[in-house]
Amino acid sequence: MAKQGFVWSYSTIDAWRRCPRMFFETTISKRYKRDFVKTPAIERGEKIHGMINRHIELGDALPPALRRVTDIVRKLSTGARVIQTERKLAVTRDWRPTGFFDHDVWGRAVADATFVYETGAVYVDWKTGSWKQDGLQLRLTALVLFPHLSEAVERIRAFYWYTTDDEPSEVEIVTRDDFAKARTDGVPEILRIEDAIRKGDFPPKPGFQCRWCPVKSCPHNGKE
Ligand code: SF4
């Protein structure tokens, strides 16, 4: 079994893909801490997310620059039984719902906006600037969302949606069958990390990220 205590999220999986050694040192051994620098672009994104959340939850008007979001929310809200923002979702190892910080948490995701209908649901990840598109994030969030929904929900459509666009920039569709398969067979990216943890196999993967990597003991640090 993988070492207890490993809690996956898209960002931990992404750290492993960038460099297994950096992942180990910042997520498993925790000898180093990843620096989080709040850039002006991140601050702007947080402000826009806050405005969208208040628009969805309280009906606050959005500024003209976000008029497309007003239209998108109106459209997605039609027929929705449950609408939520910033939904913090967590599952146990057997994909049962649990609390975000509960002792049995195994996987986590945060959904910017969810719209739940009778037999389907939509999850939107709002995008406010240049961003690496990664369908894995959409798929993982939809998988973690599934056990939190009624069993009548058969399909989740997950969107990356730029707040300036009329259409989503990426769409992933995850069905209840996909969820059942993940539950029985596992998710390849998570299985690979758990295998690496079992074997203690975390090779360095030198690259651009070595410039800002916090793992000062690595011979590649600051050299790429
Ligand atoms: S310095 Fe580079 S190779 Fe070394 S742990 Fe950091 S990212 Fe990986």
Which residues are 157's β-sheet partners? 122, 173
**Ligand 1 atom with least separation from CA of 220:** 1
Predicted pLDDT of residue 131: 66
Q: pLDDT over 70 for what percent of the chain? A: 96
Torsional sign, CA 94, 194, 17, 26: positive
What's the whole-number mean pLDDT along residues 121-131? 89
Q: Which atom of ligand 1 is nearest to the CA of 19?
A: 8
How confident is the model over 99-120, as a mean pLDDT?
A: 97
Q: How far is the CA of 33 from the centre of ligand 1 (A)?
A: 13
pTM for this one?
A: 0.91
Alpha-carbon distance of 103 to 91, in angstroms, equals 11
Predicted local confidence at residue 2, as pLDDT? 44
Q: Is residue 218 lining ligand 1, measured as CB closer than 6 Å?
A: yes
Is residue 110 a contact partner of residue 25, using CB atoms and an 8 Å limit?
no
**CA 13 to ligand 1 centroid distance, Å:** 16
Tokens of 168: 């989503």
CATH topology classification for 66-186:
Trna Endonuclease; Chain: A, domain 1 (3.40.1350)
Whether 13 contacts 201, CB under 8 Å: no
Decide if pLDDT at 186 tops 60.
yes
